[in-house]
Structures are given as C-alpha cells and as structure tokens.
Structure 1
Amino acid sequence: MTDLTAILSTLSAGLFSLIAFLYSRRRSGSLKDIRGPASSSFWLGNEADIRYQDEVGDCEFKWMREYGSAWRRTGFLGTDRLMLADPKASKHILHSAGYHYPKTIDRAQFSRLAAGNGLVAAEGQVHHRQRKIMSPAFSTHQVQSFLPLFHGTASKLVQKWKEVIAADPSGQPLVNVVGWFSRASLDIIGEAGFDFQFGSLDNLANPLVVRNDKDLVDSMLYPSWYDLVFKGTWKYIPRPLLEYVRYIPTREYRGLRSWLDNVRVFSRGLIKQSTDKGDGNDIMSVLLRANGSSNPKNKMPEDEMVDQIATFLSAGHETTAKALTWYFYALAKHPEAQVRIREEIALVRARAAGEEFTIADLDSMAYTLATLKESMRLDPIIWYTARTASRDDILPLAFPVTTKSGQQITSIPIKKGTPIDISLAVYNRLPDVWGEDANEWNPERFLDPLRGFKEASSNIGVFGSFFLATGTRGCIGWQFAVLEMQIIILALLDNFEFSLPPQNEKTKIYRRPSHVMLPMREGKEGTWMGLHIKPLN
C-alpha cells in the first residue's frame, strides 16, 4: 500500500471517527455491571486483542476462565459489546429470535465484499425469501443423488496421492493437504452445484474462480489497525456509500474485489447454461426451477442468483476443505483413532458386500462420526460471529455469571443496538457443557449421550451441538458438506496412514484468527498443513 493510500485511509477513518465518537459516548447501560477485560486501545478497545492474537482463543479462553460464559468487552472508541459463549443465550439469538439479531454492519458488509448479495450476506425478509427458494436444492433426496460424485472425487484424490508417494524416494512424503482438499472440494461443488468441470485435481483449475491462497490470507488475516478503525465507522455510513469501500486499493479489499468481479462474469455464463439445459440435477438447475414461481415476491432476481454462485464457491468449498484439514491434523496426532476407524470401515464394508457406501452405511459408523464432531469442536472453522440487537430484549443464561456488584444473574437485559459477539471457539470448550476434559481430544463424548452435554439447553445445533447448522442463518448445505467429508475421510483412511513431522517451533501449526480459522506455519506462505502420508499395505 502506498503512503498516499495510507494517509487517505487514515484521514477518512479520522473523519468518520469524529462522528462516531459522539455516538459511542452513549454507553449501553444494560452492560455497565457486567464484568470484562479492560480496554487495551482507545481506538479499538479489545478488538485488537482478538484480531491480532497468535491463535484463535488466546484471549477469549482467558476471559472465559475469569468471567464465565458471558462478559463485556469494549469495541471501537470504547463502545460496549457483549461477548457470549453461553449456550442458552446463543440459542436465543440464533434460534428463537434469529431475525431480531441481524449481523453487525461490518460483518454483513464483509460478507458482501467476499461473496456478493447471496444467502450469507442477506438479512431479514430477503434472507428468508432466498432460503425458501434455495431449500429444494439442498433436500436430503437431492444431496443423496451426489453420493456417486463424492465417491468418484475421493477415489481420484486417493490416486493422485498414490502418484505423489510413488514419486517420493522416502515413500512417506510431507504433503500440504490444505491445497489438495481445496481442489477436491472445488471439483465437487463445481459439478454438484453447476454441472461444471473445474478439473482442479487434474491441474486444470479455472483461473476465474480459484481464489489465490495468498490473496485470501492478505484480505482476511491481521488487517491494518487503520482498516479496523475504518470498519468501526461502517455502521454510521449509509448503505449506498458503503458499497464503494470495495474499491479501496489496499490489500484488505483488492483481492476480494478482483475475485468477486471475475466470479460474477463467470456465473452469468453458468446460469445461461443451466437455463438452456432445463432438466439438470445440479444445484443451480434445481434452484432455477424452484425460482420459477409466478409470484414476483417469491422470485430471486438475476443479480442475487449470480451472487449465490459466489456464495457456493466461498462457503461451499473452502470451509469444507479447512474442516478436512483440521480433521486429518487431529487424526495425525491420534493414530489410535485411525486404527479404530479402519476397523469400523472393514465391518461396514463386509456388510455392504462390495457396494459403495450408502447414507445408511455412513450413519452406522458411529465412531467415525464421533471423531468428525470432536475435530470440529476443538478446531471450529467459523470461530465467532457477531450480531446486533434490533430491539430491547432479555437474554437468558444457562450458567449464571457474577456481576461487578457481586450479584449472580441468570439473564442479561439488552438494549436495542447492542453489538453481541458469540464465541463459537469458547462455547466448544466450555467445561460446563463438555466436562473437565473440554480441552482434550475425546471422541467418546459423542458416543455417550449422557456424557456429551450436561444440560439439554446446551444442545445448540443438529450436528454435534455445534453452530454449523443452527438457527435461522444455519448452513443450508450442512448435510452436503458432512456427507462429502465422510466419504473423503473413509477413502483416505482406507488407503493411507497420517502422521505429523517432528514438532518444534518451526513446524508448529498455528490456528490463525482470520475470517475462518486458518492453519499456518512459520516460514510458509499462505495456509499450510504438512502431514506425512504413508500408503497402507
């Protein structure tokens, strides 16, 4: 970034900061007695603590141990924010009163920068309409039809890794699995979503839609302090003006703008292809047919349809790839789990009599599912989310917290406009929910329903009590993603053993706090998860 750009950005931030300062002095009285950490910055409050931490949870876990499952923290120019890991309060926000807690302006605008005006960025009635139209494309029957695609892509990935191993003199190469999982999941979402062959596993990736890994990191990880200050002013900027922030020529915006512009051009061609075909089984074809309502209020305009493709590509393949990455990292640390999964595979294969695994077969693999849930619990891809109260409300708490005045409270009154951060990473490690071994790998917790969750109110989601598929804004494609991951996991564990290289400061994998939790290593550019892969006899 040039010095001129830095100066202009800082001046712009300063101008809006002056306006915002007048508003920020009106502190939320409902939070004044809630305990929390002292502000570490006049401009950013505790925002810098969270954004610049080495690893996800470094500061939030410490705050949870000191304050419990709910605490106050400061945001831009000293504004009060409520931070939650409490399951009951989170369930209220995400389920019971979901549309009364829209995303914060900065979070919503970032979604628009990354994926346009698709389902992830939409709010209120627009979100409800889009989700209603899109639901048939993600029905259980529709997802089940993609099983052959999942199996075929998993088999191709196995073959590619066998070729990598054969070319390595050690017979046990160190492979950066992040890129491989990204390529495999992109091939799957291309064919299942749009009947388009990306050919990523064959190194034929389409440059229009493959986001450069370095650009991804530059756009989302450790933004400059003046960009964080600037984002703090977004809620005071009219929405039409806010659309122009995508043209700011800094690293935080340049890569996102280029990628989204290219995808939009590419998407219009895909929509025409699906319209001409008419009877396709891919998600876009099903979506177009569902969008054929005669009632204009139930239709999705073309620009929204275009941005659904950007949403599918962003949310539909990178999150799955990162989830698989962290899963095999966990298994590399726990070889005993690999052995047990292979035993489970052998039992189910004997019952399947040579046929490809069905959904019933996958559902019967209880231990494999337990390990997937445990990995997603310990290493959540989406590690936090932010909402704003659109009305006065009272948040119920599953676990009482102690206030500054020494009272124990079981609910927190919330004023309209209060920003609320929900820490998924902390919830996933709450001892009150998961037990005293909450920080440890233990898939057995998901095999014993009496041990898994200490209270019924703690059960938030439909897959392992996580936020993955929870509430009005839950992931519409969660079944698709879980089935895809299961089949890839079984194919790889049936053919390979996984292990970590010797662990030291140079090889340590960091859980970097980007928009999603990124695996990274010192000295390696972009995302990195190097695992030794050895073929089974």
Structure 2
Amino acid sequence: MLDSQLLRTVPALLTAWIVWTVLKRFVFSHPLDRIPGPPAQSFYTGNLRQVFNADSPDYFRALSEKYGRVTRLFGLFKQRILHVSDPKALQHIFLKEQHIYEESTFFLVTNMKIFGPGLLSTLGDQHRRQRKMLNPVFSIAHMRRMMPTFYSVTYDLRRILLAKTRDGPQTTDMLSWLSKAALEIVSLCGLGKSLSPVTEDEGEDPYVTAIKTLTPVSRHLRLMRQYILPFVVKYKLAPPPVLRIISDRLPLPRLHQMSGIVDTMHDVSVGIFTQKKKELQEVGYSDDNQKDFLSILMRENARASAGDRLSDNEVVAQISTLMFAAMDTTSSALSRILWLLAVHPNVQSKLREEIRKVKQEFEEPDYDQLSSLTYLDAVCRESLRLYSPVPLVTRQARKDAFLPLSNPIRTMDGKEIQSVYVPKDTLINVPIQAVNEDPGIWGPDSYEWKPERWLSPLPDSVHEARIPGVYSNVMTFIGGSRACIGFKFSEMEMKVMLFVLLDALQFDLGKQEIQWNRSGIATPFIGNNELQPELPMLISRAA
C-alpha cells in the first residue's frame, strides 16, 4: 500500500516541479540572456547533448572561437548556464571567491550517494578537515617511499607484455593492462593490500569490476544525476530505504547496475576499514611501520583533536574515493600518452633514447632522478595540457555575485561589460580543455601536441594569464582548495610506467580505429561500444 502510494506521489511531485520550472524559464527573462551564446538545440535538453557529447572538447573549442571566453548555454528546460574560460574569472572562481563558487549540488549529491561523505561530496569545514587529515598522505616525502611499489608493479606488467611479444608483434588491449596496474599500485600504496595483481588471470575482484564500470555506467544516468536526484534529496520525498525500493522497481537497467556498483564499493570499503582498524589496534597506532595511505590516515586521525577527527563513515568514504580517482584518471592519461606516442613515432623514439641513457646509470631512478628527465616531463605536461582526462568541471554560485573578466565582452544589446552578474544557483561550466588550449594564452600553435614547447621558456602570455591551476599553468588538476590532492602521485606513477615500458617495448596503432569518449573521464573505445572501453595497440619488442 505504502509502496504504491509513493510510486504515485513521487512522479506527481516531479511533474509539478517540471511544469513550474518550464513556465518560469520560458515566461520570464533572465540576467544571463544578455550574454552571447548558441541557441538551444533541443526544447528539452538545450545544449546539454553537445556539452556532454563524446566529442565535447571540440564543441568547447567551437564555442570559444565563435563567442569568446564567456558564453551562455541552455540546460534542461531552458536553464541558463554560464560557460567560462576567462583567466581572471577563473581566479575568482577557484581562488579568490571559491567560497561563493562551490561544487554543484548535483556533483555533491551524486558523490555522496556513490562514495559517502568523502572529499568529493563535502563542503566547508567538513571538507577542510578531511583535506587537512589527508595532506600528510600525499606529501612528497611519502611519494618517495612509494617509488619501489610503482616500479615493482610496472615490471610485472612489462614481463607479461614481453612474454606476449616473444614470437613477434601482438595486439593487446593496453587500457585493460594499464587499469589493472594502476589499481594494483593504488591498492598497495593506498590500502596496503593487493586487489588487482598484474597477471594473466582472467578473474577479477568484484570491487575492481565495480570501480572500472562506474564511469561508463554513470554516463548513461547523467540527466538523472544532474536534475532528478538533487530534487529528490533536496525535498526529502522519502527516506533513503524507501527511495531504494522505488529505484529497484523502476524499469531502468542502468540504475539497477549503478545500485549494485555502489553496494559493492561500500561493502568492500567497510570490510577494508574494519580489518585495518583491527590491525592497527593490534600493533598500536603509534607503530609507523605500515606506510600505506589508509594506515597513515587512520593513525593521524587517532592523534587528531576531537574537532579535527574524522568519523568512521568519513574514513570509509575516502577508500573508494581514492581507489576510483587514482585508477580512472591515471589510466585515462596513460592510455592517451601511449596513443599519442604511437601516432608520433619520432617522439616515442626520442623519449626512449632519453630513458635508455638514464637507465645506463640508474635501473630504477628515484623521485628526483626521474623528475630530472626533461623530455619525459615535457611529454607528460603536453599530454595533460592538450588532453585533460576530465575536460569539464562545474561550479554553482551560492549567492548573487559579479564575476570580473580579463577582457570586456559585448552583450546582446551591444554594451561592453567588464564583469558578469551571476545570480544565485547559476551553474558555471569551466571547460578545462578550452583553457588549456586557448590561443590567446598558448599562442597560434596551441591546438598542436608539441612536447618541445616545454623545453624552452613558455610565452609571456602564459605567465601573464595567471591560470589558477595547481599544475604547470594548466587547469587539468584545477586549483584552490578542491585541487586534485593526489596529482603528484598520479604524475610519478605515469612517469614510472612510461620509463619502464618504453625501454623495452614499442607501441604502434593496430588496424582498428580508436575513438575517444571525452565526456566525463576520457576513455578510448572501438566502433559503437562506448560502454566497453578498450585500447587495442600493436606492441613489439623495442629495437
């Protein structure tokens, strides 16, 4: 009886909300209507299909070329969205007024449902407490201690790939192997246990499967995550257990798959936390022998004051957050770099030459020695500049504000303005890719992949733009208090893998055309099978 009433009530409330939203947005004018931008491509979805298309960075480039660095877009039912790549505006969004331009509600609600109260789903003091507790985990000193693990896992991968090429070149899915290695590195470094051993074994831990399938499945639920879920949570239409019953009865297979993924990730994370807590209680929290991230976090948390200490739920939430973020983005970036090296064999040869020269002296270069490889560094920086694993981030204005601009823009009525009025709750899209390849910042060759640009001083325009990114004058890892906390970990992991693999192996493109879905976290795929990411490459023993 209760279930049937709720199944009638929830759709009725959603329908009423949609009708009011549509009327309000179509009848009344909006302050952002004076900002130039493209017409809505759909009455229902506005420009969202273009924004979240597999080739979305190409769309962002076209917007920048036609409308400049500030554009008005349309979302669901003519919702106005501000699309911003202006450097001065970004300084205010990510640094000077980041308390105004917070993560969007749909981002926070979605990540709360998937991971729990972790770094990706919290704001304000709660987020600052978590970040403060996690900073020691990602210190440079700790990165140095992790290097042997990076090498050990990567050499395991190298041995397997060399065995495959014993009788000549072979085609293999490098995304699968890179993901497996990245997961094993983060599970050993992060949790102190092996979850994804780099072997030929076809079997896979359910937790690993859940993390791998999270991104492709979530792409198919984007509108639900962005519009329906925040509404349901905001107005508390039903208790979580009842909402789960309703969602399980809806004829939406992807939603059911996502529920299974979340259940698996949560259950395994709780088990890992419980086991780690037991281990630390047995040896004592003062014992510093266990160097994995989770042990360090739990020791620091035990020593913290009551005001800074994280709850058990907060610590559990960091586990899957760490595993997902460290695996998906790193394997995406590495896949792109190997693909680029296959497309540009001359760069691959030059990089291999640098690696082999260093390898004559150091079999496993330490943190500082690896950082000194200038061409390896240039290849990584240029790849992360032009092909950010995450091409778009969103912020939401928590109150009315004015966003200053580097250069004035002309409004639809012909007036020139130096700042944009941003009403409360406005969604702001920041196209990372458009910032990273802006010709006004990077010069006329900004759309070209040229590692050599990093071997000489960058143009003055790059430094003058004062891009608020935490890494190399680009927005790939964003900036401010929500910058990627593990970007140094990811950078060194990529460099170790490239150092070890390129010394022994040659990577070339196979016969199948590789496409890239750059909506969300960029992933390669073949044909029309976007839900099954793969990167088939022809590998052989390097001469």
Q: How high is the TM-score relative to the length of structure 1? A: 0.89
- Deviation of 1:35 (Å): 0.2
- 2:85 alignment partner AA: A
Q: In the alignment, what sits opposite 1:479?
A: 488
Q: What is the alpha-carbon distance in structure 1 between the residues aligned to residue 202 and residue 191 of structure 2?
A: 17
Q: How many residues align?
A: 523
Q: In the alignment, what sits opposite 1:57?
A: 57
- Structure-to-structure mapping, 1:126-137, within 5 angstroms: 126-137=126-137
Q: In the alignment, what sits opposite 2:4?
A: none
Q: Is the 8 A contact 2:44 2:77 kept in 1?
A: yes
Q: What is the alpha-carbon distance in structure 1 between the residues aligned to residue 460 and residue 513 of structure 2?
A: 30
- 2:32 alignment partner AA: L
- Deviation of 1:227 (Å): 7.3
Q: In the alignment, what sits opposite 1:3?
A: none
- Structure-to-structure mapping, 1:117-128, within 5 angstroms: 117-128=117-128
Helix, strand or coil at the partner of 2:34: coil
2:178 to 173, 178, 181: 181
Helix, strand or coil at the partner of 2:103: coil
- Deviation of 1:16 (Å): 3.2
- Deviation of 1:261 (Å): 1.7
Task: Kindly report the root-mean-square deviation, in angstroms, between the aligned alpha carbons of the 2 structures.
Answer: 2.9
- When residues 402 and 140 of structure 1 are mapped into structure 2, their CA distance, relative to the original with a 3 A threshold, is same
1:311 to 317, 321, 325: 321
Q: In the alignment, what sits opposite 2:106?
A: 106
- Structure-to-structure mapping, 1:179-328, within 5 angstroms: 179-202=176-199, 203=201, 207-211=205-209, 215-216=213-214, 218-223=216-221, 230=228, 233=231, 237-238=235-236, 248-249=247-248, 250-278=252-280, 279=287, 280-293=290-303, 295-328=305-338
Q: Does 1:382 align with 2:390?
A: yes
Q: What is the alpha-carbon distance in structure 2 between the residues aligned to residue 497 and residue 7 of structure 1?
A: 60
- Deviation of 1:376 (Å): 1.4
- Deviation of 1:219 (Å): 1.8
- Structure-to-structure mapping, 1:439-450, within 5 angstroms: 439-450=447-458
Q: What is the alpha-carbon distance in structure 1 between the residues aligned to residue 410 and residue 484 of structure 2?
A: 34
Q: What is the alpha-carbon distance in structure 1 between the residues aligned to residue 407 and residue 243 of structure 2?
A: 41
Q: In the alignment, what sits opposite 1:457?
A: 465
Q: In the alignment, what sits opposite 1:531?
A: 537
Which deviates the most, 241-250 or 507-516?
241-250
Helix, strand or coil at the partner of 1:411: strand
Helix, strand or coil at the partner of 2:198: helix
Which deviates the most, 240-249 or 189-198?
240-249
- 1:145 alignment partner AA: R
Q: Deviations over 1:403-455 (max 9, x none)?
A: 21233433222222221111112212211112111221111222223327534
Q: Deviations over 1:357-403 (max 9, x none)?
A: 01111221111111111111222111111111112222222343332
- When residues 292 and 54 of structure 1 are mapped into structure 2, their CA distance, relative to the original with a 3 A threshold, is closer
Q: Deviations over 1:467-498 (max 9, x none)?
A: 31521111111111111111001111111111
- When residues 452 and 375 of structure 1 are mapped into structure 2, their CA distance, relative to the original with a 3 A threshold, is farther
Helix, strand or coil at the partner of 1:32: helix
Helix, strand or coil at the partner of 1:295: coil
Q: Is the 8 A contact 1:12 1:230 kept in 2?
A: no
Q: What is the alpha-carbon distance in structure 1 between the residues aligned to residue 91 and residue 224 of structure 2?
A: 34
Q: Deviations over 1:8-57 (max 9, x none)?
A: 99767534312434654686844232100111222222112223x34132
Q: In the alignment, what sits opposite 2:507?
A: 498
- When residues 110 and 489 of structure 1 are mapped into structure 2, their CA distance, relative to the original with a 3 A threshold, is same
Q: Deviations over 1:225-261 (max 9, x none)?
A: 7776635856864498689766624244333322222
- When residues 422 and 227 of structure 1 are mapped into structure 2, their CA distance, relative to the original with a 3 A threshold, is closer
- When residues 14 and 69 of structure 1 are mapped into structure 2, their CA distance, relative to the original with a 3 A threshold, is same
2:354 to 337, 344, 347: 344
Which deviates the most, 108-117 or 129-138?
108-117
Q: What is the alpha-carbon distance in structure 2 between the residues aligned to residue 76 and residue 235 of structure 1?
A: 18
Q: Is the 8 A contact 2:392 2:431 kept in 1?
A: yes
Q: In the alignment, what sits opposite 1:45?
A: 46
- When residues 227 and 152 of structure 1 are mapped into structure 2, their CA distance, relative to the original with a 3 A threshold, is closer
- When residues 228 and 265 of structure 1 are mapped into structure 2, their CA distance, relative to the original with a 3 A threshold, is closer
Q: Is the 8 A contact 1:498 1:533 kept in 2?
A: yes
Q: Is the 8 A contact 2:381 2:451 kept in 1?
A: yes
Helix, strand or coil at the partner of 1:59: helix
- 1:311 alignment partner AA: T
- Deviation of 1:322 (Å): 1.0
Q: What is the alpha-carbon distance in structure 2 between the residues aligned to residue 495 and residue 223 of structure 1?
A: 41
Q: In the alignment, what sits opposite 1:331?
A: 341
Helix, strand or coil at the partner of 2:408: strand
Helix, strand or coil at the partner of 1:201: coil
- 2:457 alignment partner AA: P
Helix, strand or coil at the partner of 2:481: coil
Unaligned runs of 5+ in 1: 1-5
Q: Is the 8 A contact 1:198 1:205 kept in 2?
A: no
- When residues 405 and 177 of structure 1 are mapped into structure 2, their CA distance, relative to the original with a 3 A threshold, is same
- When residues 38 and 231 of structure 1 are mapped into structure 2, their CA distance, relative to the original with a 3 A threshold, is farther
Q: Is the 8 A contact 2:386 2:433 kept in 1?
A: yes
- Deviation of 1:315 (Å): 0.6
- Deviation of 1:198 (Å): 1.6
Q: Deviations over 1:129-182 (max 9, x none)?
A: 11111111111111211000001111111001112223xx5x111221111111
Which deviates the most, 233-242 or 41-50?
233-242
Q: In the alignment, what sits opposite 2:523?
A: 518
- Deviation of 1:218 (Å): 4.8
Helix, strand or coil at the partner of 1:187: helix
Q: In the alignment, what sits opposite 2:497?
A: 488
- 1:487 alignment partner AA: V
Q: Does 1:159 align with 2:159?
A: yes
Q: What is the alpha-carbon distance in structure 1 between the residues aligned to residue 240 and residue 409 of structure 2?
A: 38
Q: What is the alpha-carbon distance in structure 2 between the residues aligned to residue 246 and residue 331 of structure 1?
A: 46
Helix, strand or coil at the partner of 1:483: helix
Identity %: 26
Helix, strand or coil at the partner of 2:81: strand
- When residues 227 and 414 of structure 1 are mapped into structure 2, their CA distance, relative to the original with a 3 A threshold, is closer
Q: Is the 8 A contact 2:390 2:518 kept in 1?
A: no
- Structure-to-structure mapping, 1:418-437, within 5 angstroms: 418-437=426-445
- 2:165 alignment partner AA: I
Q: What is the alpha-carbon distance in structure 1 between the residues aligned to residue 474 and residue 240 of structure 2?
A: 32
Q: Is the 8 A contact 2:220 2:254 kept in 1?
A: no
